[in-house]
């Protein structure tokens, strides 16, 4: 497997599974033999006390989207209080702004695809 390390971006030989205790963990092995820990296949301990349940794991390419889905669920199911909800929305909006800026610079045609969504969000906010 040739690719890039999700942690540092350096070329890697591969991503390997390592079994420890009662879980499986992933490690990226670089061409020079150094390794970067990528995390568990399934999060067990961090999800016990968090209001946001983490599913997926270290090598799940949709992990970030799943975080967003879980944050949305936590808000709609009222698992987050008022201040946590405000903070979550502010962070999501900051991240969304950065995502849109970066994506449209890299792929200008994206602007056409997302314009209706931006207009919809603007109308939604103005109607509140």
Considering the domain boundaries, does residue 70 fall inside one? Answer: no
Considering the domain boundaries, does residue 110 fall inside one? Answer: yes
**Beta sheet of 11-20, edge-to-edge order:** 3-4, 11-20, 23-30, 35-40
pLDDT at 11 over 80: yes
Considering the domain boundaries, does residue 117 fall inside one? Answer: yes
Span 52-58, average pLDDT: 61
Facing residues of 27 across strands? Answer: 16, 37
How many domains would you assign to the chain? 1
pLDDT of residue 91: 86
Considering the domain boundaries, does residue 87 fall inside one? Answer: yes
Considering the domain boundaries, does residue 103 fall inside one? Answer: yes
**Which of the two residues, 89 and 54, has the higher pLDDT score?**
89
Structural domain of 117: 81-128
Span 68-89, average pLDDT: 84
**Which of the two residues, 109 and 50, has the higher pLDDT score?**
109
Considering the domain boundaries, does residue 56 fall inside one? Answer: no
Task: State the Cα torsion 50-55-58-62 to the nearest 10°.
Answer: -120
Q: Tell whether pTM > 0.75.
A: no
């Amino acid at each position: 497997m040739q690719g890039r390390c999700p942690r540092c971006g350096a070329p890697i030989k591969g991503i390997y599974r390592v079994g420890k205790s009662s879980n499986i963990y992933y490690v990226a092995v670089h061409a020079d033999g150094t390794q970067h820990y990528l995390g568990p296949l399934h999060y067990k301990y961090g999800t016990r006390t968090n209001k946001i349940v983490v599913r997926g794991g270290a090598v799940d390419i949709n992990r970030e989207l799943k975080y967003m889905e879980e944050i949305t669920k936590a808000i709609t199911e009222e698992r987050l209080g008022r201040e946590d909800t405000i903070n979550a929305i502010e962070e999501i909006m900051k991240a969304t702004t950065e995502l849109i800026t970066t994506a449209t610079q890299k792929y200008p045609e994206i602007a056409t695809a997302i314009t209706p969504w931006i207009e919809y969000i603007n109308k939604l906010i103005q109607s509140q």
